[in-house]
Amino acid sequence: MALKMLNELLIEDPSPPLLLYQVSKTAQLDTLNYQSCFMQGVFAHFPEVLFIHRTYNPRGKVLYTFLVDGPRVQLEGHLARAVYFAIPAKEDAEGLAQMFQVFKKFNPAWERVCTILVDPHFLPLPTLAMEFPAAEVLLSAFHVCKFLQGKFYQLSLEQPMERALLTSLQNTMCSATAGNLRKLYTLLSTYIPPAQLPELHLHWLLNDRIWLAHRWRSRAESSRYFQGLEVTTRVLSQSFGTTPSVEKGVTALLRYMQQNSGDKASFSLGLSSLNHHAPSDVSPESPKVEQLVEAHIQHSLNAICTGPAAQLCLGELAVVQKSMHLIGSSSEKVNIQILEDTHRVQPQPPASCSCYFNQAFHLPCRHILAMLSARHQVLQPDMLPAQWPAGCATSLDDILGSKWSETLEKHLAVALLTEEVGQLLQHCSQEEFERRYSTLRELADSWIGPYEQVQL
């Protein structure tokens, strides 16, 4: 089935892509090398900096995505910078050497690669150095940022401290000057327990070679760069990283590229023929998997919760449907990021989240629903506290009146105001910043007194 499915990709394509693969004795896809003519052309134009991202699926197979990077690359679209997909048989020296050699055979411009950006867990560096002897291999700023972000979550810090560190990390990544990196290094060295500091590899912050490959970007360009890679890695994770079937993962990824590419002809893969052999849950005549999952979640909410509770949760689900990102998970907790807000989800029943909605109403919030959607699961009765099963409350007023906390309401108002003021201070001129900061300083002193250490 895998052999027949992949052969379908070459049918009725005016510009057949490079597609090399190997099928195991169990008729499963063992190796894959894919590159469309459009992707090959992009790499030929921008070969100087190569960004490599790895995506693992539940079966243990890994998808290598090669993307072009650097100052000359100004491509729009979430996967517009992707120039090669590969799945090695094994992630050892032999398997990776074979993968890189296939890439070089069909891309003569590989000799012009000057820099290769990888993640901190990329171990086969000798193989990479041997296959690209003239290129400098560096950690990518994006992967270092994601590594530190994940470590902050694992440390289980107090929420204000965790939020402060994440904000400082974000600001530093958008303006990676030597001074800002040194400030972040000092901040982490001060507030992270000494026994846990080695896990963070803070010396990366002081390695100027890493940041020279990123520092040329302005603050706005850095923000767009990180946001673009967030979306790209999310698409790769949702397409390939959520299904044990390598064939279904590759199919989903190539279909996404076909549907979202600015140059549809360049990504024409003959998927109309492929769909005849694809499982029914991903055929074009049926709703997308995500839509089916969300419909099941809506049904479970209506079946399990009271009407008013379901109404509140469906409002949260509407936000999830517009924008969702699963950051990562550990054995006990799942970290969910939606838009700019990051919260910690406790999936064990009754499910809980650190966000305001869940803390106030003890109902499944957008982050819990995002976790269910990403896992293709539905709401279960034991995920609700005892007071919320169907038949308990009768109206929305009952819920709001019984659960609204004046303290939480004040906390939310202050948090929103603080966020707004912080955004204004970050994007104003230095002169305006000094004036506004002085005003805040005077206000804090008038309330609390100049002899108290007030942290602004």
Q: What is the pLDDT of residue 86?
A: 92
Residue 404 predicted with pLDDT over 60: no
Mean of pLDDT over the chain: 76
Query: Of 368, 331, 337, which Cα lies nearest the Cα of 353?
Result: 368
Q: What is the pLDDT of residue 368?
A: 87
The top-scoring range by mean pLDDT among 1-15, 77-91, 98-112, 369-383 is 98-112
Q: How far apart are CA 138 and CA 243, in angstroms?
A: 31
Q: What is the pLDDT of residue 22?
A: 63
% of the chain residues with pLDDT over 90: 17
Q: Tell me: the pLDDT tens digits for 289-310?
A: 556 666 777 777 777 777 667 7
Q: How far is CA 454 from CA 183, 434, 441, 445, 447, in A?
A: 20, 17, 9, 8, 10
Q: What is the pLDDT of residue 305?
A: 75
Of 45 and 251, which is predicted with more confidence?
A: 45
Q: What is the pLDDT of residue 147?
A: 92
Q: What is the pLDDT of residue 322?
A: 53
Residue 352 predicted with pLDDT over 80: yes
Q: Tell me: the pLDDT tens digits for 25-44?
A: 555 777 888 888 888 888 99
Of 401 and 22, which is predicted with more confidence?
A: 22
What is the phi/psi pair of residue 380, to 5°? -110, 150
Q: Architecture of 1-139+217-260 per CATH?
A: 2-Layer Sandwich (3.30)
Residue 388 predicted with pLDDT over 80: no
CA-CA-CA-CA dihedral for 9, 10, 11, 12, to nearest 10: 110
Query: Of 181, 154, 157, which Cα lies nearest the Cα of 169?
Result: 181
CA-CA-CA-CA dihedral for 449, 451, 455, 456, to nearest 10: 50
Strands 82-87 and 62-69, how do they pair? antiparallel
Q: Are 162 and 187 in contact (CB under 8 A)?
A: no
Statement: the pTM of the whole predicted model exceeds 0.85: no
Residue 103 predicted with pLDDT over 90: yes
Q: Are 300 and 378 in contact (CB under 8 A)?
A: yes
Q: Tell me: the pLDDT tens digits for 176-200?
A: 888 889 999 999 998 888 888 898 9
Q: Which amino acid type is present at position 168? A: S
Query: Of 214, 196, 106, which Cα lies nearest the Cα of 153?
Result: 196
Query: Of 154, 191, 187, 157, which Cα lies nearest the Cα of 171?
Result: 187
DSSP-assigned letter for residue 325:
E
Q: What is the pLDDT of residue 271?
A: 31
Residue 141 predicted with pLDDT over 90: yes
Of 16 and 67, which is predicted with more confidence?
A: 67
Query: Of 225, 160, 246, which Cα lies nearest the Cα of 418?
Result: 160
What strand order describes the sheet that includes 62-69?
A: 18-23, 29-35, 82-87, 62-69, 49-56, 115-118, 136-139
Q: What is the pLDDT of residue 441?
A: 77
Strands 136-139 and 115-118, how do they pair? parallel
